[in-house]
Amino acid sequence: MLNQYYTVKLEGSDEQTIQKSRFIGYVKRVETEEQAQAFIQVIKKKHHDATHNCSAYMIGEHDQIQKANDDGEPSGTAGVPILDVLKKKGLKDTAVVITRYFGGIKLGAGGLIRAYSSTTSLAINTTGVVKRQLMKEMIVSADYTLLGKLENALRNSHYLLENINYLDHVELQVYVENEEQQAFRDWMIDFTSDQVTVTEGDVTYIEIDVT
């Protein structure tokens, strides 16, 4: 598993008009080629009357699956520029479809490449990007008299306080980066003069918005 990687939020879209042609960009997070193809077909069905529905996707931990489709545009002017944007932004598990309604003015090869690239970037920016960080769940169990002190310290730290469970003892669910588990444990014990119990939970990806 990668320690961290970037991908898009679940789904989004945006559009622009260039030289009277309407370009609509659709973005979706996908984890398999089947999901990517199904997404493309949904957009093609939605815009069955469009001049082109060009697409690209990049899937896999090491970008094992990379596909681009010009859907009738001159070779290399649509699908590859879309894919290039995904590569430059370092986005994994992402599919993009750009729908074009031709406005009567030819853009030329350079114009098409710029149009498909810029529409892809526009749609991705509107959808939003997240960093998926592999993190370890740590459960801090303490007496209620320590809750205020612990909560304040955790919220002002770089660790992620995810939840507080009010049981016989209060339990604070915290996520820390994999290599920081021992440092976190040591900090908690030192900070509370060894008045807490720290146990390890699951390893999971936590999504952090990228501005």
pLDDT digits 0-9 by tens, 137-191:
999 999 999 999 999 999 999 999 999 999 999 999 999 998 899 999 999 999 9
Q: What is the largest CA-CA distance in the chain?
A: 74
Q: Return the pLDDT at 178.
A: 84
> How many separate helices (H) and strands (E) can be counted in the chain?
5, 10
pTM of the model: 0.87
Q: What is the pLDDT of residue 1?
A: 86
Q: 118 by DSSP, 3-state: which?
A: helix
pLDDT for 144 equals 97
Mean predicted confidence (pLDDT) in 82-100? 98
pLDDT of 21 reads: 98
Q: What is the arithmetic mean of pLDDT over 76-95? A: 98
Check whether 211 has a pLDDT greater than 90: no
**Could you count the other beta carbons within 10 Å of the beta carbon of residue 125?**
15
Q: Residues 24, 122: contact at Cβ < 8 Å?
A: no
Residue 72 has pLDDT above 90, yes or no: yes
Confidence of residue 8 (pLDDT cuts 50, 70, 90): very high
Residue 173 backbone class (left: φ over 0; alpha: ψ -120 to 50; beta: rest): beta
Q: What is the domain partition of the chain in residue ranges?
A: 4-127, 131-210
Say which CATH superfamily domain 4-127 falls into.
Impact, N-terminal domain (3.30.230.30)
Chain-centroid distance, C-alpha 109: 30
Task: Classify domain 131-210 by CATH architecture.
Answer: 2-Layer Sandwich (3.30)
Q: What mean pLDDT comes out for the span 74-96?
A: 98
pLDDT tier at 131 (50, 70, 90 boundaries)?
A: very high
pLDDT at 31: 96
